[in-house]
Structure 1
Amino acid sequence: MIPAALRPRAVGTWTVSLVHYADRDGVRGQHFADHDEHAGEPHPTAYFCWLLVGAAEVVLVDAGISPGRAAAAPGLRYRGSPVALLADAGVGADDVDRCVLTHLHYDHTGCVRELPRARLVVQRAELDYWTGPVAQRIRREHWLRTPADVEHVARAVAAGRGTALDGDADLAAGLSVHLVGGHTAGTQVVRVVTAAGPLVVASDASHFYENLEADRPGPLLHTTGLVHAAYDRVRELSAGGPGFLPGHDPGVLHRFPALPGSAGAVVRVA
């Protein structure tokens, strides 16, 4: 049973909550491609998944880092598995009907195998890249993927328990995904209609608010031009609503209240 605090009150809208499952210290030079005199200043990173609840469906956007991968990650302060944190807030793994994977980096796929009922949604360009020969040859990217997670997604798509999309698609009334690329070969963002208007879960299409707002990409990217185009697309998709949610900006936590009883791990956004 989904908690009443997470259910939408207006017909045809969704609620949006984020799951804050980890943090890491860092400096600005690690997070922006064009270093400047502020490159050595502290710039922490937060790690999120996003829970979307509609009248008839529960959707998880991304699946975080697995406990095993977290234990081996230097400097990561792991608050717990996103699935476990959601369960503490009253949302069980069996409640999730669909999991939209914005891209297939390790910190977005880690608990995908813990969602027994969820149908997976990924862009074909993303899945083809990480299962194809080119990604195997680019050694500097190997740390960004967890092969078992990618294989699980590929098997789910092949078995009809997942969908590999070729571009934008409407998933349900008030919920759509949009291929933007840039950060990875097939990065997608999620547009959701809330009571306050359209909101975009940008995930790593904009790691921090500053990436998009100051037009400053981060260093981890697949195609620079598409990163800038993704910023424009996020602005367009979120026009008239409360804006967008970046993938790793701890500033999000100061803008919205935590859900009672979640120990600050689940934050209601809209």
Structure 2
Amino acid sequence: MSGRADDEFRVYAIRYAQRDGRRGQHFHGYDTRWDEPHPTAYYVWLAVSANHTVLVDAGIHADRAAGIEGLEYLASPARTMAEMGVAPESVGHVVLTHLHYDHTGTAHEFEAARYVLQRSELDYWTGPWAERITRERWLVSESDLAHLRAARKEARVRLVDGDAAVVPGLSVHLVGGHTAGMQVVRVRTAQGHVVLASDASHFYENIEDDRPFAILHSMTGMYGAFDRIRELSDGPDLVVAGHDPEVLDRFPPFSAPLAGRVAVIA
């Protein structure tokens, strides 16, 4: 694998919440097994190299989580990171894969960070169409959008168009599908290039069985996202699904005390 050791990252999946569900909620189209239990895990992802600390997504804020029926909030991303020995102020970039509320809720807690997102994602949620599409509008937080607007005035928001390097060894890639400006994150590690799929593939079953998630902006975009994730990763074992409890089974725990909350991806 090419690249300097300084540009290689350690990558972690941090589960901050969990929720029970049914299969029928999580796959597009009719499923004969629709009423089977199908739990959801909620993650953020942390990438740490010799020179950079990057947080991918920011989870749900505890206040909003308290109002979501059936959601068990384990700990805020910042609190779990502190347990890992990573201070919030050390985070230089927060990559927002998309602007749904469960990915933006604690972004304001990382005051030293610059936010990275696709221009098409911000344009969509702040433009005229999202206001009219009620099936999608509930998925965004107005207060989180207001924070991003304020951060943009402070030159703390980087809007990208398509594929872009964030720091050496870590890049973002526009895929669409789930949202208008959905992006995935490619990270160079000692084991190869990891792709953090986030909601481009909620569950491993989405990408492995070619089955889109129930909430989508573009059906063809979802299929294209699956293909792009495969192209960007150095193998299926280095793809990380966005909401699958199985992540914690496929990858080892960070430590015994954090087993079930933090997995080491590579």
Give a deviation string over 1:129-152, Cα, whole Å, max 9, x none: 111121112222222111111121
Q: How much does 1:240 deviate? A: 4.5
User: Among 79, 89, 98, which residue is 2:93 paired with?
Assistant: 98
**RMSD value, Cα:** 1.4
Matched pairs, number: 262
Q: How much does 1:263 deviate? A: 5.3
In 1: Cα distance, 2:235 partner to 2:199 partner = 22
Q: How much does 1:211 deviate? A: 0.3
Corresponding position of 1:81: 76
Preserved CA contact (<8 Å) 2:248 2:262: no
In 1: Cα distance, 2:181 partner to 2:150 partner = 18
In 2: Cα distance, 1:243 partner to 1:268 partner = 11
Deviates more, 1:236-245 or 1:60-69: 236-245
Preserved CA contact (<8 Å) 1:196 1:242: no
User: Among 97, 108, 112, which residue is 2:107 paired with?
Assistant: 112
SS in 1 for 2:138: helix
**AA paired with 1:83?**
A
**Structure 2: 5+ residue stretches without partners:** none
Corresponding position of 1:265: 261
**AA paired with 2:229?**
V
In 2: Cα distance, 1:118 partner to 1:264 partner = 27
Preserved CA contact (<8 Å) 2:11 2:47: yes
**AA paired with 1:251?**
E
SS in 1 for 2:7: coil
- 1:24 is aligned to 2:14: no
Preserved CA contact (<8 Å) 1:127 1:154: no
- 1:61 is aligned to 2:56: yes
Give a deviation string over 1:242-265, Cα, whole Å, max 9, x none: 421111000010112222243542
Percent identity of equivalent pairs:
55
Structure 1 length-normalised TM: 0.93
- 1:41 is aligned to 2:41: no
**AA paired with 2:128?**
P
In 2: Cα distance, 1:156 partner to 1:124 partner = 15
Deviates more, 1:253-262 or 1:104-113: 253-262
Preserved CA contact (<8 Å) 2:187 2:193: yes
Do the aligned partners of residues 23 and 240 (structure 1) sit closer, same or farther apart at CA in structure 2, a change above 3 Å counting? closer
Do the aligned partners of residues 35 and 241 (structure 1) sit closer, same or farther apart at CA in structure 2, a change above 3 Å counting? closer
Preserved CA contact (<8 Å) 1:59 1:96: yes
Corresponding position of 2:141: 146
SS in 1 for 2:258: coil
SS in 1 for 2:187: strand
Corresponding position of 1:168: 163
Q: How much does 1:76 deviate? A: 0.2
Corresponding position of 2:185: 190
Deviates more, 1:257-266 or 1:129-138: 257-266
**Structure 1: 5+ residue stretches without partners:** 1-8
Give a deviation string over 1:77-101, Cα, whole Å, max 9, x none: 1102111111122112111110000
Structure 2 length-normalised TM: 0.95
Preserved CA contact (<8 Å) 1:124 1:164: yes
User: Among 235, 243, 249, which residue is 2:230 paired with?
Assistant: 235
